[in-house]
């Protein structure tokens, strides 16, 4: 080794040593940093967040969730969606527009299986199931005139509805969107390891406090009316992914000896008659997973598969009734995430 190279190596060694020592210290600091845990109520359901950070930021989490509530909650009389449903002359804010535009795109991709105008029909059938009396065809048909994602649009200033009686309801996408918003907060703060869960919709990054990937169970649909059963169908590795599940667990009706979930088809106005009992979707964003999970419950297994083929960023895990027994189908790309 010549003298010039020796001198260069001598100068480089301290920097390499400093880099190695610094890396070790950063890793040790990260390992010793505590995981914070916050829980609460939002959007008529519960939320739970776990994140590795040097202090608790629940107040900031709540502030972000309140922003979502102020945009999308039908129970908030001052929210953007409430004002639109009341036909108030107002410009929607960016948060509402982001959800509305994404909902419209997914409605188009699923041929209307996902539709944020369907709530009146869902409510009608919900009351019917509880009372044991099915709605009349006349009642269903009268509401169908107010249903359809093509009957609303954004003109650059306002949400325009074909009829003032059309009602928007983002509940099938709002929980997922809320989880995305909290995840964005954590990303902004440089938090590398976290789990956000709102009403069962989940976003994760990094690893858990046990230093292993985040794992989430998919509940097996049952007819346990007492809500005491919580048996898992499978466990999925959802690290660095969002996951949402749609399925009226413990809430079926029977026709021809087969079980059907109480899911309303926006096009027909009637409960769907296919055998999917639960649809779990993994995507990069929870709002997308949330909406597609709802759509797949409407579409059925074969139509859902076709949607998945043209959306390779989506992965799905379906539980369906196969002659009285639960069976499963899942995206081939999901194979390495199943932790059974």
pLDDT in tens, 300-329: 999 999 999 999 999 999 999 888 788 999
φ, ψ (nearest 5 deg) of residue 313: -80, -10
CA 96 to chain centre: 16
CB 265 within 8 A of CB 144: no
Q: Hey, where are the domains in the chain? A: 213-340
Neighbours of 102 (CB within 10 A): 18
Render each residue's pLDDT in the chain as its tens digit; 340 residues.
Answer: 566 555 555 555 555 555 554 444 444 445 579 999 999 999 989 999 999 999 999 999 999 999 999 999 999 999 999 999 999 999 999 999 999 999 999 999 999 999 999 989 988 887 545 566 788 999 999 999 999 999 999 999 999 999 999 999 999 999 999 999 999 999 999 999 999 999 999 999 999 999 999 999 998 887 654 444 568 899 999 999 999 999 865 566 666 666 666 789 999 999 888 888 899 999 999 999 999 999 999 999 999 999 999 999 999 999 998 887 889 999 999 999 998 6
CA distances from 283 to 184, 231, 291 (A): 15, 24, 11
Give the CB-side neighbour count of residue 271, counting CA atoms within 13 A: 24
What pTM was estimated for this model as a whole?
0.87
The DSSP 8-state label assigned to residue 54 in this structure reads: S
φ, ψ (nearest 5 deg) of residue 45: -145, -170
Bridge partners of 242, per DSSP, are: 203, 283
C-alpha span between 258 and 274 (Å, rounded): 9
213-340 maps to which CATH number? Answer: 3.10.520.10
Q: Which of 250, 244, 264 is nearest to 199 (CA)?
A: 244
C-alpha span between 185 and 176 (Å, rounded): 15
φ, ψ (nearest 5 deg) of residue 208: -80, 175
């Amino acid at each position: 080794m010549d003298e010039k190279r020796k001198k260069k190596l001598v100068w480089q060694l301290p920097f390499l040593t400093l880099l190695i020592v610094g890396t070790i210290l950063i890793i040790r600091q990260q390992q010793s940093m505590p995981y914070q845990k916050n829980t609460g109520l939002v959007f008529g359901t519960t939320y739970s967040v776990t994140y590795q950070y040097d202090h608790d930021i629940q107040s900031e989490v709540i502030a972000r969730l309140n922003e979502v509530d102020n945009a999308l909650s039908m129970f908030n009389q001052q929210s953007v969606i409430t004002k639109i449903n009341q036909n108030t002359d107002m410009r929607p804010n960016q948060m509402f527009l982001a959800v509305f535009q994404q909902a419209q795109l997914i409605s188009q991709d699923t041929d209307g299986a996902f539709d944020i105008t369907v709530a009146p029909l869902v409510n009608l059938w919900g009351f019917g199931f509880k009372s044991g009396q099915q709605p009349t065809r006349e009642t269903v048909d009268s509401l169908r005139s107010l249903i359809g994602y093509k009957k609303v649009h954004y003109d650059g200033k306002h949400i325009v509805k074909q009829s003032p009686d059309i009602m928007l309801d983002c509940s099938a996408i709002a929980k997922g969107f809320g989880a995305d918003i909290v995840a964005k907060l954590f990303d902004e703060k440089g938090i590398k390891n976290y789990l956000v869960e709102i009403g069962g919709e989940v976003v994760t990054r990094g690893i858990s406090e046990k230093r292993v990937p985040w794992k989430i169970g998919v509940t097996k649909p049952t007819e346990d009316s007492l809500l005491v059963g919580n048996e898992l169908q499978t466990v999925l590795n959802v690290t660095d992914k969002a996951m949402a599940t749609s399925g009226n667990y413990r809430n079926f009706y029977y026709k021809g000896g087969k079980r059907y979930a109480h899911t309303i088809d926006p096009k027909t106005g009637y409960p769907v008659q296919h055998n999917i009992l639960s649809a779990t979707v993994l995507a990069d964003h929870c709002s997308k997973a949330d909406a597609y999970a709802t759509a797949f419950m409407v579409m059925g297994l074969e139509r859902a598969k076709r949607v998945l083929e043209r959306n390779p960023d989506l992965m799905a895990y379906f539980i369906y009734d196969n002659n009285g027994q639960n069976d499963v189908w899942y995206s081939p790309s999901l194979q390495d995430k199943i932790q059974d």
